[in-house]
Amino acid sequence: MKYLAYIINHIILLVIIATLVFVIKHIFKVTKKLLSSPKKFLIIPSASVISSLLIIFINLYRWDLIDLFTVFFEPLLELAIQGIFFATLIFSIRYLILELRTNNYRELKSYRFMVPIFIALLTFLITIQIPFNELSIHNNFEKHYEQREKVVTMIKGGELNSNSSTNNFIQLPPEYEHLSRGGGKVMVRREDGVIKVFFFTFRGILDSFSGFMYSSDNQRPTRNEFNGDFKEFEKFREHWFWGASY
């Protein structure tokens, strides 16, 4: 199964690279045409601001977007936005150099192309300094903690059931589906009087997934929990852990 996941991941990577080359090629063509228009001094800063905001937006809501567009198409969306961002930056640097060559550097003409460069640098610093992923995970946990506790209570009380007593998927009611991404299902494991419930924050291919796990015995999960290959674990509260399998 792991070899199959390895092959699938590399196929997806090749598709993403091919799409990236195609997207960047066409972005440069479109940008070049736009830059030949009289409004180029407005186009470049506007494109820079919009693409920068979109990059920050993606970092904030990446897991929601993956759940919406699936793990196959969300990376293509990211690559398209990043392509616009870098194309804008490259053309800004190019025209800034041209203006500095053809005009007196003390004149204020070149500032129009310095604005997108400044915006790009600021965006870059924001994305590397702010831990968006950690913030998103902690926000998800705090926002849905009480509802997930209620779901665990319902499973313990027998209100939510499955047909087996070992590893199971339980479909959550419609009002609780948002608590577990990738279809609104949770994994449940009962063994030696211990119950464990796993809520997905990301549901990929085969053993690639992450999420919050409730453990009634409050013990740190094992690496092979729920048939995964967990490499990351973090305790959030008593009985609650976040883990990533890949």
- Span 125-184, pLDDT tens digits: 998 888 988 888 999 999 999 999 999 999 998 888 875 554 588 999 999 999 999 889
What is the per-residue pLDDT across 42-58, written as a single tens digit (0 to 9) for each? 666 777 788 888 888 88
More confident residue, 30 or 143: 143
Q: Which residues pair with 202 in a beta bridge?
A: 210
In angstroms and rounded to an integer, the radius of gyration of the C-alpha atoms of the chain is 24
**Could you give the angle at which helices 2-35 and 40-102 cross, rounded to 10 degrees?**
80
Residue 117 in contact with residue 89, Cβ under 8 Å? yes
Q: Which pLDDT score, from 0 to 100, does residue 60 have?
A: 84
Say whether pLDDT at 34 is over 70. Answer: no
More confident residue, 33 or 231: 231
d(C-alpha 29, C-alpha 69), whole Å: 27
What is the per-residue pLDDT across 63-82, written as a single tens digit (0 to 9) for each? 888 877 777 788 888 888 88
Average pLDDT, the chain: 79
Q: Which pLDDT score, from 0 to 100, does residue 116 have?
A: 77
Query: Predicted confidence band at 35 (pLDDT cuts at 50, 70, 90)?
Result: low
Q: Which pLDDT score, from 0 to 100, does residue 2 have?
A: 47
Phi, psi of 5 (to 5 degrees): -65, -40
This prediction's pTM = 0.69
Residue 176 in contact with residue 197, Cβ under 8 Å? no
Query: Predicted confidence band at 17 (pLDDT cuts at 50, 70, 90)?
Result: low
Find where tokens 């940008």 sit: 31
Structure tokens at 26: 């066409």
Q: Which pLDDT score, from 0 to 100, does residue 228 have?
A: 86
